Amino acid sequence: MAISLYIHVPFCLRKCRYCDFVSYSYDPEAACRYRVALLREMALYHERLGPEERRLKTIFIGGGTPTCLPEEDLAAILEGCSRYFQWLPGVEVTVEANPGTVDLSKLRTLRCAGVNRLSLGVQTCSDHFLRLLGRVHSFNQAVEAVILARRAGFDNLNLDLIFAIPGQTVANWQHCLRKVLSLRPEHISAYSLQLEEGTPLAREVAEGRILPCEEETELAMYREVIDFLVDRGYEHYEISNFARPGYRCRHNLTYWHNEPYLGLGPAAHSCLGDERFYNTGSLEEYEARLLAGELPVAGRERLSRDTMMAETVFLGLRLIEGLDLARFESRFGKNIEEVFGEQIKKLSRLGLLKIHSKHLKLTARGLPLANAVFREFVLP
Ligand code: SF4
């Protein structure tokens, strides 16, 4: 089976105040060493994977902020992807970009190197909230980035948004949605702000210096984004994702269908066959191990069949159309009700799940309670 490839670029211009991803301050020398190490990692997988697993249906270069790398580095990474892997016809190639780190030349380089989807971290249209989040850009820079991306030939743009920011009201959020929609993106991801432990924003909330968004307001904002985008022709196809017809993110669909992917770069995760493994998050160790000719894997886990079935269910339930029951049966040789009959009965009785058109799906009531539903399928 062809796979999806994820590449983690672990650099950002500055750490956002809510972020707990693995990322380091951008430094040209470190970025140069990273690029050398990453190409070695690709070469090692080229030797170790079979021809089928070297065939790529999607590539996603994320981070961090991939576009804080100079365009020569980005071009070299993409060239490495095509030297060491085989791109299937119609491959989807996404690069994450932050406003303030792109110019026309860099965007044209990406487009010429085969990138056909750009994901821009816009987050909010309010400069006040952008500052609160510690983002390095203004909303005007985000608008400028969209204009430049169109000029460079990108006709598949995702804009990432965050809601439930402390101090944000439903009216602010509606205003933000209107402004973002005027940019006519093909795809929108809208996630509520997560206050991750250890981040400056979470600390300030814990110390009472900033008031978090009320749960009710957050729920109202979630309902608002669904109604607003669906009314304007977007398909709500995953809990937090919306697309114009034909523009669903195929890379992320790999994860939600629980299909194989390989992750390269510090802290990247992979899942191939019945094995899940992840790289060290330390940039130094990542580089040293690759220089020594070793894969920088920090941990491996063999997945039991029960684990794979449970994960396939709760990942599939993230999709609005739900989990395809025939696909589940052909993959595992078992009817889903034989395996999870009790959970399905219980959650259906509570009005959170239903079987509809041969799919198991969350109900409208279950959607905002998705995490509680997923926990029912996690093995003890
Ligand atoms: S740009 Fe993204 S990865 Fe970098 S610090 Fe901000 S949220 Fe984290």
Tell me the domains of the chain and their CATH numbers. 3-256 (3.20.20.70), 305-375 (1.10.10.920)
Ligand 1 atom nearest to 20, measured from its CA: 8
Query: Is the CB of residue 58 less than 8 Å from the CB of residue 89?
Result: no
Pairing state of beta strands 157-163 and 187-192?
parallel
Ligand 1 atom nearest to 15, measured from its CA: 5
> In angstroms, rounded to a whole number, what is the distance separating the alpha carbons of residues 332 and 30?
45
pLDDT on residue 348 = 96
Taking residues 248-257, report their average pLDDT. Answer: 98
Query: How many residues in total does the chain contain?
Result: 380
| pLDDT over threshold 80, residue 300 | yes
Taking residues 193-219, report their average pLDDT. Answer: 95
Separation in Å, CA 85 to CA 91, 109, 115, 216, 337: 12, 20, 15, 47, 39
> In angstroms, rounded to a whole number, what is the distance separating the alpha carbons of residues 171 and 160?
19
Looking at residue 249, the DSSP 8-state letter turns out to be: -
| pLDDT over threshold 70, residue 379 | no
| pLDDT over threshold 80, residue 126 | yes
> In angstroms, rounded to a whole number, what is the distance separating the alpha carbons of residues 369 and 7?
31
Q: What is the pLDDT of residues 80-93, one digit of tens each?
A: 999 999 999 999 99
Res. 66 pLDDT band, cuts 50 70 90: very high
CA of 359 to the centre of ligand 1 (A): 35
Residue of 13, 20, 21, 195 best suited for mutating to test ligand 1, as the one with most atoms within 8 Å of CB? 21
Residue of 9, 14, 19 best suited for mutating to test ligand 1, as the one with most atoms within 8 Å of CB? 19
With CA atoms as reference, report the closest residue to 279 among 84, 15, 48, 37: 37
Q: What is the pLDDT of residues 273-289, one digit of tens each?
A: 999 999 999 999 999 99
Taking residues 55-69, report their average pLDDT. Answer: 97
> In angstroms, rounded to a whole number, what is the distance separating the alpha carbons of residues 351 and 366?
7
Residues near ligand 1 (Cβ within 6 A): 12, 15-16, 19, 21, 23, 63-65, 98
With CA atoms as reference, report the closest residue to 77 among 28, 31, 117: 31
CA of 8 to the centre of ligand 1 (A): 12
pLDDT on residue 102 = 97
The CA-based angle 258-94-15, given to 5 degrees, is: 95
Separation in Å, CA 30 to CA 35, 68, 206, 247, 348: 9, 12, 34, 35, 52
Ligand 1 atom nearest to 96, measured from its CA: 2
Q: Whose CA is nearest to atom 6 of ligand 1?
A: 16
Separation in Å, CA 365 to CA 170, 223, 226, 311, 325: 20, 11, 13, 22, 21
Separation in Å, CA 93 to CA 1, 28, 128, 150: 18, 25, 33, 16
Q: Where are the beta strands (DSSP E) in the chain?
A: 3-9, 11-12, 24-25, 55-63, 86-97, 117-123, 157-163, 187-192, 235-238, 241-243, 261-264, 269-272, 275-279, 297-302, 323-324, 353-356, 359-362
* Direct distance between the N- and C-terminal alpha carbons of the chain, in angstroms, rounded to an integer: 31
Residue of 11, 13, 23 best suited for mutating to test ligand 1, as the one with most atoms within 8 Å of CB? 23
Q: What is the pLDDT of residues 35-47, one digit of tens each?
A: 999 999 999 999 9
pLDDT on residue 309 = 96
Ligand 1 atom nearest to 134, measured from its CA: 6
CA of 64 to the centre of ligand 1 (A): 5
Q: What is the pLDDT of residues 141-196, one digit of tens each?
A: 999 999 999 999 999 999 999 999 999 999 999 999 999 999 999 999 999 999 99
Residue of 17, 65, 120, 161 best suited for mutating to test ligand 1, as the one with most atoms within 8 Å of CB? 65
CA of 19 to the centre of ligand 1 (A): 6
pLDDT on residue 380 = 65
Q: Could you give the percent of the chain with pLDDT greater than 70?
A: 99
pLDDT on residue 22 = 84
